[in-house]
A and B are shown apart, each in its own frame.
Chain A
């Protein structure tokens, strides 16, 4: 359509001046989308002393960066951050704006979408650019926003055909991060910020953040147990297997709910999305919510007593049997091969 830009923007979320992984993942994805649309990829960086962070975004594909650097912007706050983005979006009318589906992204994106009356789709699991024919009209280079809906029972493709700006949030780990060997030349536009009395309506009293010590995302081998493990006692076998083969322990949501394992080790739609070299799904039936978080693993081994469990449909190797019987056998066999 005439009059719409081809710009793709990524809001770069930062904590203490460091970018969130999801923002870098979105830049890598945004690079591809911008190429398809013959457009420009721009990073939007807001914070205090964030120049080096802005430069880093060029390594992940940015052509340009908008930087708002001010001491009042050190920590994320809804009102000033959304005001800045509202002004930027209204002035430049980007075609696409991507946010991480983090707590910050889910606080900020709807506020900006509301003000600018843009389309916004939450928690996309895939983004594509395509020509679309919809209700008898032809649209060039629309953003297809693909996400599970209805508790993961259907996959919906959402479009926002008639508005200038299409916005989406994406969960961490869903897109892959690709640092460029030869980044584009750094081109930064400094955006001025003037504090506004309205910002004082909300004040930050204190903040506590603990970086998680668990890093499932970068583990090459993950051993995940589900509700089918039966007891916390049996779940120890998961730890034992992980320890033997040098993997990280994880669990399904049902395993977390049953108290077998902590939430920070949950794989799936409401947990972490992982793509390891090897993933064991043991005593996990394979609900879509879980599969959404692990089906990109290179090799998947499923162990389940139920031969019809849906987990087998996404697995490369399947063992039908009881985990308490299979795991010790596997450990013994593995140790014998190491000798």
Chain B
């Protein structure tokens, strides 16, 4: 059976390729789950509302970094074996921003899964919609996703989607060691070390932040795809101009490969009771902003005498010495 040994990432970065195996290995298609997230790493005072909730609109929306790493994994497989890379995101219309970025990096196609009925979904409802979208897109050997998204840090959607697709999962993947026609060998992190698993395809993998360096946008690809539009964006264009007909626009964008396909609840023929808030067993019951202890510490003078009195107190309390 033909097989291919993956090179270490530093060799990859230098542009090494093992062309000799290329034609002998069958093509592998990948679907990559990506998410647009609020940038929670730089939350300033203005973002917090007075009632302690977060004003999402004030937060810049960014591409969840680990999902970019997931896309890089898929693109490397495409580079080595051939095949197709399809990016998928579920989110509001503006999430098509990250899909365009996927196209800039090298994805062949990008789907926007959007519907008001999907709003307010927890991880269970999200994984239901994503799994139905993946089934509809079909024909895949790999599903990739980042380990977790920075807005929730739950790491749940990957495994939940794998369960609904009824395929194995490899979470916390660090490196693909080898790909064969119908299996993959992966090193994954475990508590206190790592393990190497061999898994039959198809498989869903979630990848760690340091597992690969996402490639930069290709300049030509940016030029080619910056005008790519989702159905909703085209509808908006049509609304603003009575001379444009939506069907014609879609036809035109499709023929120029600039159409971002959009899937709604109707397109997916899914059970709406399992989507959005309705389909989410977990609910946010209360939210409070983080209030600090409020108690003032005992001030210790930055002098020898100050230190000595502190040390004496700690020794009396049997905390020190």
Contact = CB atoms under 8 A, between A and B. Distances in A.
A320 B297 CA distance: 11
Interface stretch (A99-107, A179-187, A226-234): A99-107
B168 A201 contact: yes
Interface stretch (B28-36, B70-78, B81-89, B184-192): B184-192
List 6 A-B pairs, minimum CB-CB distance, nearest first: A151-B40, A119-B281, A209-B193, A313-B292, A321-B302, A318-B297
A173 to B, nearest CB: 13
A144 B47 CA distance: 26
Given A82-B163, A154-B287, A313-B295, A203 B198 contact: yes
Interface stretch (A4-12, A64-72, A323-331): A323-331
A115 B156 CA distance: 13
Interface in A111-126: 111, 113-115, 117-123
B289 A161 contact: no
B15 to A, nearest CB: 29
A159 B319 contact: no
Interface of B: 38, 40-41, 43, 47-48, 52-54, 122-124, 127, 150-160, 162-164, 168-172, 185, 189-200, 281-290, 292-304, 306-308, 310-312, 314-315, 317, 319-321
Contacts of B160: 110-111, 113-114
A277 interface: yes
A149 interface: yes
- Per DSSP, chain A at the interface is mixed
Nearest to B294: A313
Contact of A202 (B52, B123, B200, B312): B200
A317 interface: yes
A158 interface: yes
B134 to A, nearest CB: 14
- Per DSSP, chain B at the interface is mixed
Contacts of A148: 290
Given A113-B160, A160-B282, A204-B195, A320 B43 contact: no
A299 B313 CA distance: 11
Contacts of A205: 185, 195-198
Contacts of A104: 190-191
Given A117-B281, A204-B197, A207-B194, 19 more contacts: A113-B156, A119-B124, A123-B154, A149-B287, A153-B289, A154-B287, A159-B282, A161-B283, A202-B198, A202-B199, A209-B193, A299-B314, A300-B297, A313-B292, A320-B299, A329-B302, A329-B307, A330-B307, A332-B307
Contact of B54 (A153, A157, A288, A337): A153
A209 to B, nearest CB: 4
Contacts of B54: 150, 153-154
A110 B190 contact: no
Contacts of A329: 302-304, 307
Interface residues of A, number: 87
A278 B314 CA distance: 9
A301 interface: yes
Interface in A152-207: 152-163, 201-207
Contacts of A15: 191-192
A39 B150 CA distance: 36
A154 B50 CA distance: 12
Given A119-B282, A316-B298, A103 B171 contact: yes
Contacts of A278: 314, 319-320
Given A158-B282, A210-B193, A313-B293, A337 B308 contact: yes
B143 to A, nearest CB: 14
Contacts of A321: 302
B271 to A, nearest CB: 12
A202 B197 contact: yes
Contact of B191 (A102, A202, A204, A315): A102
Given A151-B40, A151-B150, A202-B198, A103 B319 contact: no
A324 to B, nearest CB: 12
A319 interface: yes
Nearest to A122: B154
A224 interface: no
A212 B199 CA distance: 29
Contact of B123 (A110, A163, A302, A310): A110
A154 B171 CA distance: 27
26 contacts: A78-B169, A103-B171, A107-B172, A115-B163, A132-B285, A148-B290, A151-B43, A151-B150, A154-B288, A156-B286, A157-B285, A158-B284, A159-B283, A202-B168, A203-B199, A205-B195, A278-B320, A299-B314, A299-B319, A301-B300, A313-B292, A313-B294, A316-B297, A320-B299, A326-B302, A333-B308
A261 interface: no
B299 A318 contact: yes
Contacts of B283: 134, 158-161
